[in-house]
């Protein structure tokens, strides 16, 4: 065991006393006593342990606790948890020991911190699973992640003691997860430092170059702030405001990121400086009104840029950020961004949800945005069957994404991720509205369910009681709430079909005094081309299988076993007399055809319909097994299929359709004829009313008494299509109707 030196002992005690002196939210002797108790436990537990830098390990939890109280602004419980955050993971102490000494809440937070410690392990699925476990604790107490961010910040500040490969790994993790998490929680100062430190270790030369350039601009920046503030100071003071004006340079990482995304040099990053005006709110006047008053004073002196006004005082950001931003033409013809905030807004801007948490704990306000965010985390956790890595992607997508604000018809605001669609909005309103959605009106214009929304859109969802969620909808949505609701609806529908089908077959068998058994299913599976009981029940429940011929199927192969034995022997001996069949060449067709089944549940189909020829059920088809294992279905006469047969014969498999009656397939027909009065109406009436076929697109053009064009429509199989063509050709004036092989958008 390594013994601490006297200077080290003195340093540890000094750091602890410094922590106590800066613990501004630790009230009373009880808090002080518990913090001292936690310090003694941690010091004893980490006795003899040292960090990679060689310093005593206990200095790390003390530094984390100092960040927690001074930079984030949390109270005594959080300081205790920060001091003890590595005790359970690295020493013999257990969660039960922590609970016995400090109570359930402290034990719960430390348990959450212990779980997240393994997030970035060697196995990606394990790290994702651990992250998910941590979030379960987070959904009850946000302090878990706040303390973890403090831990990560101190690790980044001391990363120089780690070997280069570890520096790159830890920096990558920080950029991927921790910096976005800090941003999402409104901890802008911590987020900025995490990003800058990550850049420092990932691209040290780039970082040093940008840091030097930013430092060289410091004098010019000070001069600009002074010349900008001078005309405003007297006017603000005359209006009765107590205020501070300061300049905030753009962070090194943010500057680098803008240079990368915009592909511009350093000199062209125009918003390198933001000037911040933080004022003491005057009593009796709403803070929002005071922000706009100060805005008016600024724009009386400087010309604003109309498209660069950001009003986050009327509608705060989803992480609680409130401020009024305006970009004005400053001295020397330079655009300058001005941020206007009250002291309260500034504290929330710097400490984010931590400040909300403090206000809520003190009973001085609510943390509605924090509660909303945690509610969304709970929604992410509601589906325990989802893949852990998929969950990680969903979490990143939904909780770290840029957001848009969308309005309901009555003016209520809904926050959605960027790229959200009208269907996402429908599910955000209510699951049943999503399930019944058929379209939407965006800003009073009719749009489809996959229409991408923009911030400020007003959306009205159109519904129908006959509508049901479909698997295709999963491609329309990006929010976890919508995806989860669609999958749940698809599973419920499949379950209902299975139950209905099971009841139908049991009732049918009862007519013959039979009960379902493995012997009966062995006869039914090949007869109805299904692989399992659930598939059989599902197809019966949807009407694909009618059971009209079940008696005939059950009577098959029920002869006397001796006769069957004789037939077997006779067949075998007959075969022996024949000349042996030639073995197929290596890489040729497999013996049994691949069955293209109708996919009715929420699982991914095993096959893909080739876009080059768009086969539909009933077409003569061929399968091609691609390198990723999926099967592409082509028409047998498709030029692409013929090419594949000649060059990749070993991947070709014979295929045929099973019965398809539920899913519809897109086909295009080309129609020509004499342009007579009312003929278009006659054509559409035949298609939609008489044959109940859905049309996706109709494009008919008339010229010189002749009409010509294409119609895209959905059919179940070739039988339906042929029936449609036959009915259209009977219309007086229609000369030809043909199927178009290749559909091009």
Q: What pLDDT was estimated at residue 353?
A: 59
Q: Which helix (H) or strand (E) holds 324?
A: strand 324-329
pLDDT of residue 378: 56
Q: Which of 296, 187, 291, 289 shows the shortest CA–CA distance to 243?
A: 291
Measured CA to CA, the distance from residue 87 to residue 40 in angstroms comes to 12
User: Minimal CA–CA distance to 270: which of 336, 339, 326, 211?
Assistant: 336
Burial 537-546 (b: 16+ CB within 10 A, else e): bbbbbbebbe
Measured between alpha carbons, how far is 140 from 109 in angstroms, rounded to an integer?
Answer: 9
Q: How far apart are CA 22 and CA 82, in angstroms?
A: 15
Helix (H, G, I), strand (E, B) or coil at 576: helix
HSE of 104 in the Cβ direction (CA atoms, 13 Å)? 2
Provide the pLDDT for residue 138.
52
50: left (phi over 0), alpha (psi -120 to 50) or beta: beta
Contact 111, 79 (CB under 8 A): no
Q: Rounded CA gap, 311 and 291, in Å?
A: 10
Per-residue pLDDT tens digits for 498-513:
888 888 888 888 888 8
Count the neighbouring beta carbons within 10 Å of the beta carbon of residue 403: 17
Catalytic residue among 17, 18, 89, 218: 89
Question: What is the rounded CA–CA span in Å between residue 138 and residue 109?
Answer: 8
Q: Verify whether residue 90 is a known catalytic residue.
A: yes
Q: For residues 604 and 303, give the distance between their C-alpha atoms in angstroms, rounded to a whole number.
A: 57
| CATH 3.90.1150.10 at 665-740, yes or no | no
DSSP single-letter state for residue 48: T
CA dist., res. 573 & res. 307, Å (int): 89
From the list 8, 55, 90, 280, the catalytic residue is: 90
Q: Does domain 214-361 have CATH number 3.30.460.10?
A: yes
> How many Cβ atoms sit within 10 Å of the Cβ of residue 297?
17
DSSP output for 585-623: PTTS--SSPEEE----SSSPPSEEE-TTT---TTS-EEE
Q: Where are the domains of the chain?
A: 6-207, 214-361, 489-561, 594-657, 665-740
Which is it for strands 273-279 and 335-342: parallel, antiparallel or unpaired?
Answer: parallel
Stretches in the chain below the pLDDT threshold 70: 1-2, 115-141, 270-273, 318-319, 352-402, 556-592, 598-605, 659-662, 690, 744-745
Q: Phi and psi (nearest 5°) for 605? A: -65, 150
Find out whether 322 and 290 touch, Cβ atoms under 8 Å.
no
* Contact by Cβ (8 Å): 291, 277: no
CA angle 697, 736, 681 (to 5 degrees): 50
Q: How far is CA 450 from CA 438, 453, 557, in A?
A: 11, 9, 52
- Percent helix, strand, coil in the chain, to 5, is 50, 15, 30
What CA–CA distance (Å, rounded) separates 22 from 11? 17
In sequence order, the β-bridge partners of residue 416 are 404
CATH of segment(s) 6-207: 1.10.3210.10
Q: What is the rounded distance in angstroms from the CA atom of residue 247 to the CA atom of residue 174?
A: 27
pLDDT digits (tens, 9 = 90+) for 72-112: 888 888 899 999 988 988 888 888 999 999 998 888 888 87
How many Å apart are CA 640 and CA 609, to the nearest integer? 13
State both tokens at 202. 């990932």
218 is catalytic: no
Residues 6+ apart with CB under 8 A from 524: 530, 536, 550, 553
Residue 385 has a pLDDT of: 47
């Amino acid at each position: 065991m390594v013994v601490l030196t006297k200077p080290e002992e003195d340093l540890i005690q000094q750091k602890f006393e410094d922590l106590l002196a800066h613990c501004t939210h630790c009230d009373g002797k009880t808090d002080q006593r518990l913090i001292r108790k936690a310090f003694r436990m941690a010091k004893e537990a980490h006795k003899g342990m040292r960090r990679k830098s060689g310093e005593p390990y206990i200095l790390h939890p003390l530094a984390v606790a100092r960040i927690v109280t001074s930079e984030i602004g949390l109270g005594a419980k959080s300081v205790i948890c920060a001091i003890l955050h590595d005790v359970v993971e690295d020493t013999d102490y257990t969660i039960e020991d922590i609970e016995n000494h400090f109570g359930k809440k402290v034990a719960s937070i430390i348990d959450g911190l212990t779980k997240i410690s393994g997030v970035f392990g060697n196995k990606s699925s394990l790290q994702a699973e651990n992250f998910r476990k941590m979030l379960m604790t987070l959904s009850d107490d946000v302090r878990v992640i706040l303390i973890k961010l403090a831990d990560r910040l101190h690790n980044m500040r001391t990363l120089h003691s780690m070997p280069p490969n570890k520096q790159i790994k830890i920096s990558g993790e920080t950029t991927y997860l921790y910096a976005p998490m800090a941003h999402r929680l409104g901890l802008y100062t911590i987020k900025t430092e995490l990003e800058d430190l990550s850049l420092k270790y990932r691209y040290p030369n780039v970082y040093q170059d940008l840091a030097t350039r930013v430092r060289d601009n410091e004098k010019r920046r000070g001069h600009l702030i002074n010349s900008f503030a001078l005309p405003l100071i007297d006017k603000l003071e005359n209006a009765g405001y107590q205020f501070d004006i300061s300049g905030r340079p753009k962070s090194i990482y943010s500057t680098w990121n803008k240079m990368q995304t915009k592909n511009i040099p350093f000199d062209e990053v125009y918003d390198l400086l933001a000037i911040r005006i933080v004022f003491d709110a005057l009593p009796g006047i709403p803070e929002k009104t005071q922000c706009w008053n100060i805005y008016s004073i600024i724009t009386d002196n400087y010309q604003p840029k109309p498209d660069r006004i950001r009003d986050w005082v009327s509608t705060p950001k989803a992480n609680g950020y409130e401020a009024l931003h305006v970009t004005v033409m400053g001295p020397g013809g330079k655009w300058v961004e001005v941020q206007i905030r009250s002291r309260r807004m500034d504290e929330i801007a710097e400490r984010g949800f931590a400040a909300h948490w403090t206000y809520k704990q003190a009973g001085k306000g609510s943390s509605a945005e924090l509660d909303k965010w945690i509610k969304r985390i709970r929604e992410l956790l509601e589906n325990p069957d989802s893949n852990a890595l998929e969950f990680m992607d969903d979490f990143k997508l939904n909780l770290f994404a840029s957001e848009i604000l969308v309005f309901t018809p009555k003016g209520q605001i809904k926050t959605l991720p960027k790229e959200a669609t009208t269907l996402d909005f429908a599910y955000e309103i209510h699951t049943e509205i999503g399930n019944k959605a058929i379209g939407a009106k965006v800003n009073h214009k009719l749009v489809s369910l996959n229409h991408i929304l923009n911030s400020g859109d007003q959306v009205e969802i159109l519904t129908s009681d006959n509508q049901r969620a479909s698997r295709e909808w999963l491609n329309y949505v990006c929010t976890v709430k919508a995806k989860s609701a669609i999958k749940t609806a698809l599973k419920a529908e499949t379950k209902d079909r299975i139950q209905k089908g099971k009841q139908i077959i049991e009732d049918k068998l009862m007519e013959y005094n039979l009960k379902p058994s493995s012997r009966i299913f062995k006869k039914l599976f090949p007869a109805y081309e299904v692989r399992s009981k659930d598939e059989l029940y599902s197809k019966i429940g949807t009407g694909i299988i009618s059971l009209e011929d079940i008696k005939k199927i059950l009577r098959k192969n029920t002869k006397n076993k001796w006769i069957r034995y004789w037939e077997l022997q006779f067949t075998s001996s007959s075969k022996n007399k024949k000349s042996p069949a030639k073995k197929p060449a290596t890489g040729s067709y497999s013996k049994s055809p691949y069955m293209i089944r109708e996919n009715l549940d929420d699982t991914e189909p095993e096959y893909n319909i080739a876009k080059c020829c768009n086969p539909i059920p009933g077409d003569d088809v061929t399968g091609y097994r691609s390198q990723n294992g999926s099967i592409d279905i082509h028409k047998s006469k498709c030029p692409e299929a013929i090419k594949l047969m000649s060059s990749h014969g070993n991947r070709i498999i014979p295929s045929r359709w099973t019965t398809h009656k539920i899913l519809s397939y897109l086909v295009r027909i080309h129609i020509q004829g004499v342009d007579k009065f009312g003929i278009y109406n006659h054509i559409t009436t035949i298609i939609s009313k008489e044959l109940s076929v859905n049309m996706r697109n109709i494009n008919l053009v008339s010229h010189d008494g002749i009409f010509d064009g294409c119609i895209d429509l959905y059919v179940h199989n070739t039988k339906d299509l042929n029936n449609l063509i036959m009915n259209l050709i009977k219309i007086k004036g229609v000369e030809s109707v043909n199927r178009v092989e290749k559909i091009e958008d």
